[in-house]
Structure 1
Amino acid sequence: MTEETFDWRSFLTRWSDEWAGTYGGPDELPAAADEPAWHARWLGAEPAAGERIAAVEERLGHRLPPSYRAFLEVSDGWRHAGGFVYRLAGSGEARWHEDERGLSEYYNKGELEGMWARALQLDVESDMTTVLLDPFAVGEDGEWAVYCHQSWAACEPARYGSFREFMLDMYREFHSLTAHSRGPAFVNETTRRLDAQVERARLDALRGEHERAAAALAEAAGFGRPRALGMGDQLRRLHGQTSTVHYGGLAQDPLYSGEFIPLLAVEHVAQRRGADSWARQLSSPSDEHREAAEEVLREVTERTFRYTARGPFGEAVERAREQARWGRTEAAWRTLLSAMPRWSPLGPDHLAPVGLLADSLLGPLITPERGRELLGIPRGPEAAEHSGEAGEAGEDGEAGEVSEADGAWAAEPADGLVWLADPPSRNRLPEPYRFVLVEGAGPAELPVRLGGQDAVLDAPVTHWELDRRRFRGRTSSNYEDCAVVTVGHAGGPGWSFALDRFPAGHLAARFVSPAVAASQGAAQPEGAVPPGARAVVVWCEPERGLFHLSVAERGIEQYAFTVDGPEVRSSGGPIPSGLDPAVLFATPAVPVPAPVPGEGVPDRTGERRALTAIAAEFGVDLPRFAITEGRLHTFTTRSWTRPPGPGETYMVVTFGGPPE
């Protein structure tokens, strides 16, 4: 839209008529100063003649910007520009601001530098609101930027590209404030058009046209239409936006509260807000509602909240959660996607299972990209026209049980092992790691294999939560090296993993590989021929240049090697050619200087070769997304070192603070 095509007369007439319509009769009259405008149904003034505008331009020494000039030609001034500017200047009242309020002391950087002294002031009467036209911030179309500063808002002024943009926003503000104050009584052609637009957007969203729906809902929400904000926030949240997302009061509606209160709780915990903030968000007179919300907040805080849904989709959620907690995050995600056509809304303002984002196990799966993918699937009543193809995909999702026969839906992308050797984030040293791969055992069996009869799985945690708590209230020694490991499926059929990403230093003289114990007693399905109960142990310290591999089968070590800088030690039987350390860690043609601990970046070529070879030899991988972004069970292993012998000493260190 350009100034040539914008119809100021029609726009201002509609605004005036809608403003006048907010007063219903003798008992609802405007203030005395506004009565003439109400009777005339016109908030403006007489048009400014061309000679008058020319005289103003001569007085100011500038030609006025096109949109303000066009406005004056229709109305030489305006009443009630939004909710806080009571009278806007006409040609005779516009004057240079000259920083009369001293605002340059607080806002005087970038574009605002010098603006307060040189800008044209347009507000004549207002509620601590200043409206300025800047003749030095001129666009290609000749328009001057408008800055609107509200002293009570304690923030930088809002910027508009032109006077027309400012007035359009003030018109939206008038609508939004009036809709809030008068509710359903505020009805006119514009509100009816926008409410119809909201209903079309609802249907578009359920059909999968979420981008178009989001744009339509955002426009309607700007005008304060009651349903638009709640529905638009659902789309925004699944698009990855969290700021100013409050779901338009749906959390206070008993029909929808179970879906949206957990989402508010997630943001409350993430922002570390206080109890008063939580109480304000609820604003419910019902004790039952408040008690339920407090319980949800507790579960979200403790990372135990479980999202539930009705019908077939709810059943798929349970299957997906079971898959996710054992590291099969891709299978879990596809289980959810396949079930989306059978999701049903709680009511007419519910557009998607956005509450999944609060689930302790499934929430981390839903990245902004995946949120858009989810929204792109027709669902609910609107999925009927797509029921053929989508329904068939959904039935496949029902086969997603956690077993070795999961089929295509449970297959994970081949992450391999080599991603463990990816460069660390900036300003961080390469991190050590160690893991055990066990064949013929599910993740739930690993505590018995590696931790003894009393070992149990702890609640799932993220990598970052484990990192924060690993030193709190913990005793560490070089006598007993017990690892806190995360567990899950290791990609290949029948393989599971136990991974420690924070190991203590490797003590070659006292190290005892857990491969032997882990390979004992593997259970097999009844009647099946055991393929060989193998266990693989890898320990890597990149900075030190150490890499260890040991392989055992049915309680007997098959082979092992340790590369420790230039030294290579091996034991057991012959090492397969594909895992030969002499080949994997061959000296490069151009020698690479050995790194000094804490300085430089170590050469990780041999490590990468070894990880690639191990993944190929055993058909295994570690699920990167599940380990780095998901939540996995943990347990504490037996010691990876033998007890000290006669004359050997050891050190014990206790870290302060209770466990989180």
Structure 2
Amino acid sequence: MTDTTAFDWRSFLLRWSGEWADSLPEDETRTADDEAALQARWLGFPPASEERIAAMEQRLGRRMPPSYREFLAVTDGWRHAGGFVWLLAGTESARWHDDASGLACTFEEYLDEDAEPEERREADIWRRGLQLDVESDATYVLMDPEDVDEDGEWAVYTWASWRAEPPERHAGFAAFMLDVYREFHSLRSHGGAQAPVFENDTTRALDAQVAEARIEALRGGWERALERLDEAKGYGRPRAAGLGDQIRRLLGQTSMISFDDLVTDQRYVSELLPPLVAEHAAHSYRGDSGLMFPLRGADEDVVSLAHATLDQMRGGTYRYTAAGPFGEAVDRARESARWGDTDGAWRTLIDAVPLWEPLGPDHLAPLGWLADPVLRPLLTQERGRELLSTPRGGQSGDTPAPSAGLDPGGLAWLAEPDPGNNRTSYRFVLVEGVEPEELAGRLADRDGGGEGSLLSAPMTWWEAHTAWLRGRREFTSYDDRALMAVGRAGAGWSFAFDGDPAPFDHRRLVSPAASAAVGTRAVVVWSGLREGHREPFFHLSVARDGAEQYSFTYTDGEIRSSGEIPAALDPNRFFGAQEDGAGVERSLLAAVAGEFGVRLPRHALVNGRLHTFVTRSWTRPPGDGETYAVIRVG
């Protein structure tokens, strides 16, 4: 609310003093100095003359920075600089700290050879800083004569042991005074039921700013709105933090997001509580006590809902719902996402955002979907910005340009290295004219106690793999049942994908193409051409109406083929000494995609949640004289 350029110290300090006086409880015990300040409505002292300021500078051996000199010319010291510095130094009491606290060694103990310059300043400030705190709650205020900006302002560092944080840097003395003025406002705004109502010209202006920022955010101007909300948040204005957190959460931020008091408001709990609970569920390694921290002050109904929602999160059953046309779009988006079309799901969701209606005046955007296990992977920073830039809630404004899709299309992306993923082999089945939920009936293990024929709930690959291994007691080297994720592979095709297959053995391979192709076409690909695989290989088989049409297998440097292979897929076109494995793989995958018009959804397979099932074995049983191992555990 106040700029540090051309700073009007007297007006600023008079306003602060009056607001302080009006905020004091009538029955509060006050010192004689505070009583005098109350009566005078002035927290300062008489101004320091130029002679006093010059004498101070001669005593200290340095000319003071401009904003501190200007301050002294208005008041020679200050009471109640924020909530924890009760007396701030004037010309007589400012002094070099000279490590009087003994904290220099303490901070130096934490430095290592790679310490950043700012870390070294935090240690050195105790030896060279000018101390401005005279009376405080174990809080130090030091001006650094070596940390000077182009205007000659010295940086101010504040530190209190009870905060357990590094020293806080303020750009200069005026910036420091603005910060502690905001601190005063924030503390008074949360003064409790017994304190006088804290209302004045400053709070009224800030509250109007919050209201304007809310409308601006709904019109799509989220960047300017966030700046204005953050300013009001610094003064402790109600609603500002909760509104700002909604914007930040859609930008992908999760740390320090709590939605403030809005999360315990019954009007918003269905939208704001689930994202908090989901974040807790993802990181609650040591119990659930932390769940209650952002819900302090909540009534029993909200607490009960929080625990019920947590159970749903952990059970994978939470499902976001919303009212009206936007809610209908949410259902359609989830249906697309659970079969892998995350780009289509996002377009369905974002196209319906203009139809979304807030649950109350402090609701800026739909947020509950961020807790939905199927919808949550749709969010990226770019998409979050697109949603926030979209006018909604009955407001009008410019529609943002659509964000780019996350899936490259086709199959060739499988030949590219995955960041953080060591996958060197994969296999998939493509079936034409069959819905994804039907693939389990064509490919599933029917001898695994019945469970193999059922699709799981949408899961990440790791969750599905962990669930599959849970309870298994026997593992054999000849049985190659695959855990496969399913979804749609483009117009008219479905896929089943295994990103962590067993070792490839062409001598015992039983391609599932024929069994998957009853009444239709099916394509099977199993690749191990990526760099890092010990013995490069590639298998393709295509079947129609339950019978294999053609296939080829490249392994041990040789090609084995059968049937009439189309020219576009002829392996002799791809395998040659002049091309590396990744190039061959990329070309083969592009050819398969072109021949059949298929694609696999990268984002859903790498970052999303898909249904899974367990197939029949991809290898024949061992023949006479063939050995195998069986491992039984537990």
TM-score scaled by structure 2? 0.91
Q: C-alpha separation between the residues in 1 aligned to 2:308 and 2:31? A: 49
Q: CA offsets, 1:48-71, max 9 Å, x none?
A: 111111111111111111211221
Establish whether residue 621 from structure 1 lines up as the match of residue 633 from structure 2: no
SS in structure 2 opposite 1:307? coil
Structural mapping, 1:361-372, within 5 Å: 361-372=374-385
SS in structure 2 opposite 1:587? coil
Task: Tell me the residue number matched to 1:529.
Answer: none
The residue type paired with residue 578 of structure 1 is A
Task: Tell me the residue number matched to 2:621.
Answer: 643
What is the deviation of 1:278? Answer: 1.6
Q: C-alpha separation between the residues in 2 aligned to 1:458 and 1:168? A: 57
Establish whether residue 60 from structure 1 lines up as the match of residue 73 from structure 2: no
Task: Tell me the residue number matched to 1:396.
Answer: none
Among 199, 204, 207, the residue aligned to 1:195: 207
Task: Tell me the residue number matched to 1:80.
Answer: 80
Q: C-alpha separation between the residues in 2 aligned to 1:131 and 1:145? A: 11
Q: C-alpha separation between the residues in 1 aligned to 2:391 and 2:422? A: 46
Greater shift after overlay, 88-97 or 26-35?
26-35
Among 151, 157, 162, the residue aligned to 1:147: 157
CA contact (8 A) 1:149 1:158 kept: yes
Q: C-alpha separation between the residues in 2 aligned to 1:88 and 1:282? A: 37
Among 537, 541, 544, the residue aligned to 1:553: 544
CA contact (8 A) 1:458 1:634 kept: yes
Q: C-alpha separation between the residues in 1 aligned to 2:107 and 2:283? A: 28
Task: Tell me the residue number matched to 1:405.
Answer: none
Q: CA offsets, 1:451-482, max 9 Å, x none?
A: 05640100111234346666555443222100
Q: C-alpha separation between the residues in 2 aligned to 1:83 and 1:654? A: 67
Q: CA offsets, 1:568-601, max 9 Å, x none?
A: 1112x12111111111122217xx6xxxxxxxxx
Establish whether residue 130 from structure 1 lines up as the match of residue 130 from structure 2: no
Change (3 A) 1:655 1:86: farther
The residue type paired with residue 439 of structure 1 is E
Q: C-alpha separation between the residues in 1 aligned to 2:518 and 2:406? A: 27
Task: Tell me the residue number matched to 1:506.
Answer: 504
Greater shift after overlay, 302-311 or 433-442?
302-311
What is the deviation of 1:382? Answer: 1.7
Task: Tell me the residue number matched to 1:294.
Answer: 307
Q: C-alpha separation between the residues in 2 aligned to 1:86 and 1:60? A: 23
What is the deviation of 1:550? Answer: 0.8
CA contact (8 A) 1:130 1:149 kept: yes
Task: Tell me the residue number matched to 2:112.
Answer: none
The residue type paired with residue 319 of structure 1 is R
What is the deviation of 1:367? Answer: 1.3
Establish whether residue 116 from structure 1 lines up as the match of residue 129 from structure 2: no
What is the deviation of 1:497? Answer: 0.5
The residue type paired with residue 228 of structure 1 is A
CA contact (8 A) 1:30 1:38 kept: no
Establish whether residue 438 from structure 1 lines up as the match of residue 431 from structure 2: yes
Task: Tell me the residue number matched to 2:372.
Answer: 359
Task: Tell me the residue number matched to 2:180.
Answer: 170
Change (3 A) 1:286 1:119: closer
Q: C-alpha separation between the residues in 1 aligned to 2:612 and 2:445? A: 14
What is the deviation of 1:279? Answer: 2.9
Change (3 A) 1:296 1:498: same
Task: Tell me the residue number matched to 2:168.
Answer: 158
Change (3 A) 1:547 1:246: same
Establish whether residue 379 from structure 1 lines up as the match of residue 392 from structure 2: yes
**Aligned-residue CA RMSD in angstroms?**
2.3
Change (3 A) 1:309 1:132: same
Task: Tell me the residue number matched to 1:17.
Answer: 18
Task: Tell me the residue number matched to 1:586.
Answer: 576
Q: CA offsets, 1:128-173, max 9 Å, x none?
A: 1111111111222211111111100111111111111111110111
What is the deviation of 1:414? Answer: 4.9
CA contact (8 A) 1:210 1:376 kept: yes
What is the deviation of 1:429? Answer: 4.2
Establish whether residue 242 from structure 1 lines up as the match of residue 254 from structure 2: yes
Q: C-alpha separation between the residues in 2 aligned to 1:181 and 1:555? A: 76
Establish whether residue 415 from structure 1 lines up as the match of residue 409 from structure 2: yes
Q: C-alpha separation between the residues in 2 aligned to 1:214 and 1:370? A: 17
Among 444, 447, 451, the residue aligned to 1:451: 444
Establish whether residue 576 from structure 1 lines up as the match of residue 566 from structure 2: yes
Consecutive unaligned residues in structure 1, runs of 5 or more: 394-410, 522-532, 593-602
The residue type paired with residue 341 of structure 1 is P
Q: C-alpha separation between the residues in 2 aligned to 1:143 and 1:470? A: 64
Among 486, 494, 497, the residue aligned to 1:496: 494
What is the deviation of 1:97? Answer: 1.1
SS in structure 2 opposite 1:344? coil
Change (3 A) 1:282 1:429: closer
Task: Tell me the residue number matched to 1:630.
Answer: 608
Task: Tell me the residue number matched to 1:35.
Answer: 35
SS in structure 2 opposite 1:569? strand
What is the deviation of 1:631? Answer: 0.8
CA contact (8 A) 2:216 2:222 kept: yes
Task: Tell me the residue number matched to 1:401.
Answer: none
What is the deviation of 1:78? Answer: 0.7
The residue type paired with residue 591 of structure 2 is A
What is the deviation of 1:30? Answer: 4.2
Establish whether residue 318 from structure 1 lines up as the match of residue 331 from structure 2: yes
Q: C-alpha separation between the residues in 1 aligned to 2:184 and 2:4? A: 22
CA contact (8 A) 2:455 2:612 kept: yes
CA contact (8 A) 2:81 2:88 kept: yes
Q: C-alpha separation between the residues in 1 aligned to 2:475 and 2:500? A: 12
Change (3 A) 1:112 1:467: farther
Establish whether residue 96 from structure 1 lines up as the match of residue 104 from structure 2: no
Change (3 A) 1:239 1:468: same
CA contact (8 A) 2:536 2:555 kept: yes
The residue type paired with residue 503 of structure 2 is G
SS in structure 1 opposite 2:457? strand
SS in structure 1 opposite 2:614? strand
Task: Tell me the residue number matched to 1:465.
Answer: 463
Consecutive unaligned residues in structure 2, runs of 5 or more: 109-118
CA contact (8 A) 1:516 1:556 kept: yes
Q: C-alpha separation between the residues in 2 aligned to 1:251 and 1:360? A: 20
Structural mapping, 1:211-226, within 5 Å: 211-226=223-238
SS in structure 2 opposite 1:458? coil
What is the deviation of 1:29? Answer: 6.5
Among 572, 577, 584, the residue aligned to 1:606: 584
Q: C-alpha separation between the residues in 2 aligned to 1:92 and 1:505? A: 81
Q: C-alpha separation between the residues in 2 aligned to 1:333 and 1:620? A: 21
Q: C-alpha separation between the residues in 2 aligned to 1:201 and 1:2? A: 20
Task: Tell me the residue number matched to 1:397.
Answer: none
Identical-pair percentage: 54
Q: C-alpha separation between the residues in 2 aligned to 1:552 and 1:430? A: 27
Greater shift after overlay, 503-512 or 475-484?
475-484
Q: C-alpha separation between the residues in 1 aligned to 2:6 and 2:462? A: 56
CA contact (8 A) 2:97 2:131 kept: yes
What is the deviation of 1:271? Answer: 2.6
Establish whether residue 516 from structure 1 lines up as the match of residue 529 from structure 2: no
CA contact (8 A) 2:97 2:127 kept: yes
What is the deviation of 1:412? Answer: 9.2
TM-score scaled by structure 1? 0.88
SS in structure 2 opposite 1:56? helix
The residue type paired with residue 462 of structure 1 is T
What is the deviation of 1:302? Answer: 2.6
SS in structure 2 opposite 1:269? helix
CA contact (8 A) 1:81 1:167 kept: yes
SS in structure 2 opposite 1:185? coil
CA contact (8 A) 1:81 1:171 kept: yes
Post-superposition, which runs of at least 4 consecutive aligned residues in structure 1 deviate over 6 A?
Answer: none
Q: C-alpha separation between the residues in 2 aligned to 1:357 and 1:430? A: 28
Task: Tell me the residue number matched to 2:115.
Answer: none
Q: CA offsets, 1:110-129, max 9 Å, x none?
A: 32242211111111111111
Change (3 A) 1:37 1:467: farther
What is the deviation of 1:484? Answer: 0.6
